[in-house]
Amino acid sequence: MQIRLNKFLSQAGVASRREADRMIEEGRVRVNNQLVEELGYKIDDEKDRVEVNGKKVIRDEELIYLVLNKPAGYLVTCKDPFQRPTIKSLLSGLQKRVFPIGRLDCQSEGLLLLTNDGELAYRLTHPRYKIKKTYLVKIKGELDSSDLDKLEHGVLIDGKKTAPAKVALLASSQKKSLLKIAIHEGRKREVRKMCEAIGHEVLELKRIAFAGLKLNKLEPGKWRYLTHREIARLKELVEME
């Protein structure tokens, strides 16, 4: 069957589609011993031999899904050239390769979904499905009603206005304020940049919910598998049978 190369790599648990495209651009992917440079390249997933970094890719039929409570100070990657701490060190006991769904920057903490199901990961991060993500955000300084209004109706980030957000002020003083912010976009460092756009530095940022999933009693640095019901709910949200 003809299939896009990036989709094949995501289904094989190598990387998300976006990361797979980056691997292709970096010249790390070969098909039938030929270097692939074209994004959108298609293969026959039953006949063609695909290699990444010189190693043959074998599609794993066992799909797994888990949630991690990421502490601050860990990179959301499985390998770092500068030997900084990564989430891989937190996934003790996990034998399968997984990749994260979406982003959490190094200093942010909280709920992170990981899987080797490339199609689900692709859909959960696609703007079409407007998957909600909720954060607790501690910022420097006191907020007023105009600040909240700006966050809710959108602020300019890198020349583009953010989509409307749901914002609740939980506590406020002259030194710091605590917000709960729910968004459905997936732009890089979006919540931090939203707060910076209204003149407030983020002191702490924690994702507490993603696509209806919550951390509940999961301790920082720990992970667990999703239940069958949770997986089914995620697939329902993105119209996967």
**Same-domain pairing of 121 and 226:** yes
Task: Reduce the DSSP state of residue 154 to 3 states and report it.
Answer: coil
**Same-domain pairing of 173 and 221:** no
Gyration radius of the chain over CA positions = 19
* Model pLDDT for residues 35-46, shown as the tens digit of each residue: 998 999 999 887
* Model pLDDT for residues 4-32, shown as the tens digit of each residue: 999 888 888 788 888 889 999 999 999 99
Kindly state the greatest CA–CA separation across the chain: 65
Whether 105 is catalytic is: yes
Cα–Cα distances in Å, from 66 out to 48, 117, 181? 31, 11, 24
* Averaged pLDDT for residues 142-149: 92
pTM here? Answer: 0.79
pLDDT at 60: 67
Q: How far apart are the first and last CA of the chain?
A: 20
| pLDDT above 80 for 68 | yes
Residues contacting residue 92 through CB under 8 Å, at least 6 positions apart: none
Helix or strand holding residue 69 (H, E): strand 65-70
**DSSP state, residue 89:** G
* Averaged pLDDT for residues 118-128: 90
Place of tokens 């105009």: 146
pLDDT at 59: 75
**Same-domain pairing of 95 and 140:** no
Which CATH number belongs to the domain containing residue 226 in this structure? Answer: 3.30.70.580
User: Which residue out of 44, 60, 105, 158 is catalytically annotated?
Assistant: 105
pLDDT at 10: 83
Q: Which domain holds residue 172?
A: 132-210
**Same-domain pairing of 228 and 201:** no
pLDDT at 241: 67
Q: Name which residue leads in pLDDT, 222 or 92.
A: 222
* Averaged pLDDT for residues 61-66: 88
Half-sphere exposure of 89 (CA within 13 A, CB side): 10
| pLDDT above 90 for 92 | no
- Percentage with pLDDT > 70 across the chain: 99
| Number of domains comprising the chain | 3
Q: Name which residue leads in pLDDT, 58 or 196.
A: 196
Residues contacting residue 157 through CB under 8 Å, at least 6 positions apart: 187, 190, 193, 194, 197
**DSSP state, residue 103:** -
